[in-house]
Homo-oligomer: A and B are copies of this chain.
Amino acid sequence: MIKKSHHTVRQSIQQRIETGEWPLGALIPGEIVLAAEYGCARTTINRALQALADAGMLIRKRKGGTRVCSMPVRLAKFAIPIVREQVEATGCQYKHQVVVNILKVPEKEIAAGLNLASGEKANYLETLHFANGKPFAFEQRWVNLKAVPTILTAPLHEISANEWLVKTVPFSSGDVVFYATNAEQRIADAIETTLGTAIFVSDRTTWFKEEFITKVKLYYQAGFQLYTQL
């Protein structure tokens, strides 16, 4: 083994796990032993093992050593997408259309979820996203004006609120909920399907340093599938 870079070592070790040389839950050799075996410095082995531990493939403990994760936490990752990119990824042409853009006081339960004072207005937007001219998703969005006052002057007819916010607001945390729902009449009309059709919905709330920024519900076209890889 003349392997060198931690990438190569990492890959090699991953293989040895995958082929079953080190079965699930087994203790693998220490860094020094591996370093000798691969003919590299312990530092290099360390980086490789740490990377694998980050990936959830190994569990490391001082003393106790490193062992193969017995119940591997397989993480499915997916990029929270710009709808435009989602559409264009399927080879379709993207278009969007702002249907509603008003200021209004949200209903109580929503205002609470948004962390807004009662009676405070927020920017409410409804946008239709199209793929090759057909409705792809229907978006309902609340934007906190205190956090992002400039949204009022943003050219939302050229760039969707979705994309504008990602490009403008620095890193933020948030949570996403996915669920299925039977289409109400309004939604059914918007995405051109029939009442009661099962619709895939993503509901996302975004925060920036404890301050609410935006909450968006996306109703995808009937038959939509969210694909991710392990």
User: Is A174 in the interface zone, CB < 8 Å from B?
Assistant: yes
Chain B, residue nearest A166 (CB): B71
Contact present for A226 and B178 (CB under 8 Å):
yes
User: Is A200 in the interface zone, CB < 8 Å from B?
Assistant: yes
**Of the residues B18, B79, B171, B224, contact of A171 by C-beta under 8 Å:** B18
**Of the residues B18, B170, B173, B223, contact of A170 by C-beta under 8 Å:** B18
Contact present for B226 and A171 (CB under 8 Å):
no
Bound complex: CA of A181 vs CA of B19, how far in Å?
38
**Of the residues B196, B224, B227, contact of A176 by C-beta under 8 Å:** B227
Interface centre among A24, A76, A173, A174 (most CB of B within 10 A): A76
**Of the residues B17, B71, B75, B225, contact of A177 by C-beta under 8 Å:** B225
Contact present for A70 and B167 (CB under 8 Å):
yes
User: Is A82 in the interface zone, CB < 8 Å from B?
Assistant: yes
Contact present for A74 and B70 (CB under 8 Å):
no
Contact present for B79 and A78 (CB under 8 Å):
no
- Chain A 198-222, CB-CB to B under 8 Å as 1, else 0, gives 1111000010110000000000000
Which of chain B's residues have a CB closer than 8 A to the CB of A82?
A: 71
Instruction: Please give the count of copies of this chain that the complex contains.
Output: 2
Contact present for B200 and A178 (CB under 8 Å):
yes
Q: From residue 170 to 204 of chain A, which have CB atoms closer than 8 A to chain B?
A: 170-182, 196-201
Contact present for A181 and B180 (CB under 8 Å):
yes
Contact present for A24 and B178 (CB under 8 Å):
no
User: What interface size band does chain A fall in?
Assistant: 35 or more
**Of the residues B20, B71, B181, contact of A167 by C-beta under 8 Å:** B71
Chain B, residue nearest A220 (CB): B180
Bound complex: CA of A75 vs CA of B136, how far in Å?
22
Bound complex: CA of A75 vs CA of B173, how far in Å?
11
User: Is A229 in the interface zone, CB < 8 Å from B?
Assistant: yes
- Residues of A in contact with B (beta carbons under 8 Å apart): 14, 17-20, 23-24, 57, 70-80, 82, 166-168, 170-182, 196-201, 206, 208-209, 223-230
Q: Please name 17 further chain A to chain B contacts, defined as beta carbons within 8 Å, in addition to the given A71-B167, A72-B166, sorted by A numbering.
A: A18-B209, A19-B170, A19-B209, A57-B171, A70-B167, A74-B80, A76-B79, A177-B225, A178-B225, A179-B224, A179-B226, A180-B180, A180-B181, A180-B224, A182-B196, A196-B196, A198-B199
